[in-house]
Chains A and B, each alone.
Chain A
Amino acid sequence: METFDPVRNFWQKNTEPQSSASPLTKEDVEKVIRARIKKEKKIVAEFFWAALAFQIFLYSFASYLFIRFWGDPLVIGLCAAGALLYIPFTIKMMQKFKAMYKPVTDTTVDVQSLTSKQYGLLTQFFRFKKGFDLVAIPVNSLVVVGVLIQIYMPGGIEANLTQAIIGFVIMMLVYATAAWYENNKHFVKPLRQFQLILEDMKKSD
């Protein structure tokens, strides 16, 4: 085969013309859109409710301990640190998460630019998430282990420093492992795929 024309002719003869495939009805389109919106809302809702449930639990626990151990500066300090940490981070996280699901408004841009934009948004969110993890994991571990030892072990942290350190390290490992799995699934793998696509697009020859 000397030229590519036979392949192109074969393709054009044996694939459907642009408009001949079974047409969609308004109902078909509405069904797809409704199902897809439901799916998207579910993703956002899952994240939102999980974050909210965790916040409610955290604030309830902190409030209870705050009142119950009023007068113990260490417990009060740890509870306040745990509660305060999450307010700004959660607000920021929700804002960034919402931005990722905004529809494409500038549709005049090409495929390469759109892919770059999506890659940028995901990278930005992941960078923020990593920063959040970096602060939240040790602080969370410190608060949880510190409060539990201070309340339930005789002598508190001062008398059980070794156990407190071991507990802190274990808690950090558990949190870090969970964060690693989450980040790998939702960010690292999709970003790697984006990178491969973008690298391929940028090849000049």
Chain B
Amino acid sequence: MQRITEDQFVEDINRNIGIIHKICNIYFIVPADRQDACQEILYQLWKSYPAFKGEAKFSTWMYKVALNTAATYAKRSSRQLGHEMLPGNLHLTETNEQQHINEQMGFLYAAINELSVMDKAITLLYLEDNSYDEIAAITGITKTNVSVRLVRIKKNLRDKLKNII
């Protein structure tokens, strides 16, 4: 990759770096797996970048490559999401309020983690304010299917997070 493209790549990635972190946090419970996955996603993005022609939004393209990589590399872990496994980029300042938020976030991640590979992707995209059309375009399932799945996912998460959030 030439220098100018490399600079552009780093700039584009940095504008959307949160996507990589959030996907890794949702798909990988174990910190070491999470770090490996982040690197794998970055590598796949770098390999695919020359083929990005700007027809779609960069973030949409990034979601596609990153979610595909995460889905492919996701390893099922029997370990439960404990406090020590909270994603590293959460703010862990130990004020009472922050501690409470971290605990709530831990429950939310644990609830999402129990979803299937595709449902995790849909949940993340929905939480990140993507429209049903965008979710359908990224995942490759129909808009109706996205809608049906989201009804089920929301009910599932609502039940699990009752009295927590």
Contacts and interface: CB of A to CB of B under 8 A. Distances in A.
Contact of A7 (B10, B18, B59, B158): B158
A104 B44 contact: yes
Contact of A19 (B10, B15, B158): B15
Nearest to B105: A14
Interface in B57-100: 59, 61, 64-65, 67-68, 71-72, 89-90
Contacts of B128: 12, 18
B118 to A, nearest CB: 5
A181 to B, nearest CB: 20
Interface string B36-72: 0001101110111001110110010100110110011
Contacts of B40: 36
A104 B65 contact: yes
B131 interface: no
Contacts of B13: 24, 29
Nearest to B117: A197
A107 B43 contact: no
Interface stretch (A44-52, A55-63, A108-116): A108-116
Interface string B7-26: 10110011111110110000
A19 B18 contact: yes
Contacts of A20: 18
Contact of A25 (B10, B19, B65, B126): B10
A84 to B, nearest CB: 38
A4 interface: yes
Most buried by B among A7, A16, A204: A7
A32 interface: yes
Nearest to A10: B165
Nearest to B40: A36
Interface residues of B, number: 63
Contacts, number: 153
Given A32-B43, A201-B139, A4 B157 contact: yes
Contacts of B64: 107, 109-111, 114
A204 B141 CA distance: 9
B133 interface: no
A17 B7 contact: no
Contacts of B42: 24, 29, 32-33, 36
A158 interface: no
A114 B162 contact: no
A106 B51 CA distance: 7
B6 to A, nearest CB: 6
Contact of B19 (A7, A18, A110, A114): A18
Contacts of B119: 200
Nearest to B9: A29
A111 B22 contact: no
Interface in A159-205: 194, 196-197, 200-201, 203-205
Nearest to A37: B43
Contact of A200 (B89, B118, B158, B161): B118
A6 interface: yes
Q: Which 8 A-B pairs have the closest CB atoms?
A: A112-B140, A110-B140, A103-B47, A18-B18, A36-B43, A23-B14, A4-B154, A114-B68
Interface of B: 6-7, 9-10, 13-19, 21-22, 39-40, 42-44, 46-48, 51-53, 55-56, 59, 61, 64-65, 67-68, 71-72, 89-90, 101, 104-105, 108, 116-119, 121, 126-129, 137-141, 145, 148-149, 154, 157-158, 161-162, 165
